[in-house]
Structure 1
Amino acid sequence: MSSDCLWLYYYTGRKQLRAGIGHPHQLVDRWTAGHGIVDDDGEPHRLVLSRPRKTHKALWYLKTEGHMARFAIGHTPEIAACHYADIPSLRPLHEATVAEAFSEVAAAAGPIVLAPDDQDSWRLSEAASEGNSDVDVLLDGEQDVWLAACLGFDRSPFGDGGAPCPQPFWGCLECRNAVITARKMPAIIAFLRFIKEQRAGLSAADWAMKFGRAHDRIVGQVLPAFPESVIAEAVARRRGMPFICRRRPG
């Protein structure tokens, strides 16, 4: 019997044995009807055999957490990735994973935000000791600029080594040298109010280009890191604060 087909079946016809399955959908339809399988509308269910396989593969993909070496059982990694991992039911998972990765990258490139309960542990952390030889000086305010304490005013990632930071003062919100603590919250609240007021004098596009990233960083990352009591105290202190920008530490 020379055939490349996987399945052979016997049937009553002119040729008693042949390769392949004729009219497979009719056979499947008879099977679902015989077992009383119906769809949501009560009609006979049209079973497409490739779909249960993809559903099974999707569940296995979740169980293996997408590790291709474990997921690609019975297939090459290329086939598993193209035909069973890249399917609509898994697309929300992939999009959420990419969004989470982008968020982690953005957070790593931005400032260090320290709530009051985190300061003691950060003083002892390896990252703090590598960034500054005197963490106490940093956290006690001696290296403050207007919106943050600065790990290296003359070591800005945006300028040449040894030169003062070339960024505007709100550039601290996008700088890995910046350390934002509760002490800086009144200034940040004041700046947030200021940039909101600038909407009145700028087009939406100009405002977004100048202040959009700073606004999103404050609202999306900085404020949520602090307790409501710290925010309320900062708002109260901000009312009497003049809008003065200190560019250099000290």
Structure 2
Amino acid sequence: MASANSRSAFSARMWSSIDDAGRPLRIHLHRIRTTLEVSRDRRSWRGSSRATIDPHHTPAVEGDHYLVGQSPAQKAATEDLIEDAQRDLVRRAHPQAAVLGPQTDLEDFLRDFPHLARAGGLEEGALAELLGGERDVFAAGCVDQMSGLHGPVGQPCPARPWVCLLCPLAVFAPRHLPNLMRLRAYFARQWHRMPATAFLSIFGPYAQRLDELLSPGCFEESALQWAAEQVLDRDSELPLRPEEYTQ
């Protein structure tokens, strides 16, 4: 009853208001809601990893608003998202990508990195292809491009070149050093053109992993110096999309 009385009192005040010309002022509740939405602080929202969730709502409120009353198709899509997130967590628990030194041969590879053989279902011939460069992508050798880690299963991996830096299916060898150096130069160009927070959220983990790879602890100093001499510091050296160009 109290709630009904409050609404009645609000309606009475609303209709008793007048504008500058003395006419009854009609208040649009939808405009009030829109004004509230526009005036809310979004400074901490933009660039956030939770950009799809209103920071003025708790996760529980967001869940009640968007997940309750779903259609069967919407529920299936939500379950797919949850399964993808769970697969991502499992992938993060996998061993880091392999780094092959100049003296590594097939026997060493089979002994030291058996998880790659198990994960990709590789036989000796496929591992020989991997070591020989027949399975190379831009920045690494890929154990299985059709694995579906970053796209549909059975189709070529659509991931961007830098995603390989953190992929458990990537194998890095000295022949990949020039392209890894080109990625480092690209990250440097992006660092100068992007806000620091944006760069760190997009490229930060990959740049950190790249610095680890391009260290004397992974490859010989002479190989790193030779690779650095191959870099022209141009966007045309990388397979980029138009929106990813820096020059």
Unaligned runs of 5+ in 1: 1-104
* Displacement after TM superposition at 1:109 (Å): 4.4
Residue 142 of structure 1, CA deviation: 1.1
1:114, 1:180 within 8 Å by CA — same for their partners in 2? yes
Instruction: Please say if 1:245 is aligned against 2:239.
Output: yes
Matches within 5 A, 1:116-135: 116-125=102-111, 126-127=114-115, 129-130=117-118, 131=120, 132-133=122-123, 134-135=126-127
Contact residue 113 and residue 222 of structure 1 kept, 8 A: no
For residue 179 of structure 1, give the secondary structure of its aligned residue in structure 2: strand
197-206 or 129-138: which moved more?
Answer: 129-138
Report the Cα offset of residue 187 of structure 1.
0.3
**What is the aligned partner in structure 1 of residue 198 from structure 2?**
206
Deviation at 1:161, TM superposition (A): 2.1
Picking from 128, 132, 142, the partner of 2:134 is: 142
CA distance in 2, matches of 1:173, 1:158: 13
CA distance, structure 2, for counterparts of residue 135 and residue 204 of structure 1: 40
Find the aligned partners of 1:166 and 1:225 in 2 and give their Cα distance.
Answer: 27
AA at the equivalent of 1:245: P
Change in Cα spacing, 1:221 to 1:188, as seen in structure 2 (3 Å) is closer
**C-alpha deviation, 1:239, in angstroms:** 4.1
- Asked if residue 160 in structure 1 is aligned to residue 146 in structure 2, the reply is no
The residue aligned with 2:224 is 231
Aligned residue in 2 for 1:69: none
Q: CA RMSD in A?
A: 2.8
Give the aligned partner of residue 185 of structure 2. 193
Change (3 A) 1:173 1:240: closer
After superposition, the C-alpha distances for 1:21-73 in whole angstroms (9 at most, x for unaligned) are xxxxxxxxxxxxxxxxxxxxxxxxxxxxxxxxxxxxxxxxxxxxxxxxxxxxx
Distance in 2, matches of 1:221 and 1:128, equals 18
Q: Cα offset for 1:240?
A: 9.0
Decide whether the 8 Å contact of 2:184 with 2:207 is kept in 1.
Answer: yes
Q: Secondary structure at the match of 2:209?
A: helix
Q: Tell me what 1:13 maps to.
A: none
User: TM-score, with normalisation over the residues of structure 1?
Assistant: 0.50
One-letter code aligned to 1:113:
V
Structure 1 residue 175, shift from structure 2 partner: 0.5
Aligned-residue offset at 1:119: 3.8
Provide the C-alpha distance between the structure 2 equivalents of 1:219 and 1:107, rounded to a whole number of angstroms: 21
Cα distance in structure 1, aligned partners of 2:179 and 2:142: 15
Distance 1:146 1:216, change over 3 A: same
Residue 114, structure 1, aligned to residue 108, structure 2: no
Equivalent residues of 2:106, 2:128 under 8 A apart: no
Which residue number in structure 1 is paired with residue 13 of structure 2? Answer: none
Structure exhibiting the larger radius of gyration computed from Cα positions: 1
Contact kept in structure 1, 2:97 and 2:169, CA below 8 Å: yes
Contact kept in structure 2, 1:185 and 1:234, CA below 8 Å:
yes
**What is the aligned length?**
143
Whole-angstrom CA distance in 2 between matches of 1:167 and 1:144: 14
Would you say the 8 A contact 2:177–2:227 is kept in 1? yes
Residue 158 of structure 1 contacts residue 167 of structure 1 at CA under 8 Å; is this kept in 2? yes
